[in-house]
Structure 1
């Protein structure tokens, strides 16, 4: 399923790099890559800091998308298999 998502996003890559969906997709890939790195290198504190920064950026983008277009937000989190935002 993830490969299908990658292919569909890469097909749209040239025309929509600035879209919120593409940015969330690329942040999710970075998060998964850093998470697997941190499983091996537990004391890599600089990578932990980078992971927290990327998580915050993705969270802000998802909050923006959920306010602007709830349907696109739901589709995106279902495609990427990520949890919904906690609302206050």
Structure 2
């Protein structure tokens, strides 16, 4: 199960999230999203758990709880929708 975690403290580390979620089951991966220009956390991330029931138990227990001084939001991650590009190449044919 892929879990979305939002409203993270910008100082929260992936190891902090892993430790928090491991008390509910086996964690496959943890990823805090980093701004590519500043190199700092964007305040949200994803935790992937091996077992869906463990993931649901973690969501139920951790949503709207405190982590590093912030009330976090924890919910099932929605799949990324295929993004349509607004880029439209010009037709370079000349008549």
Normalising by the residue count of structure 1, what TM-score does the alignment of the two structures yield?
0.31
Larger Rg belongs to: 2
Higher helix residue share: 1
What TM-score do the two structures reach when normalised by structure 2?
0.29
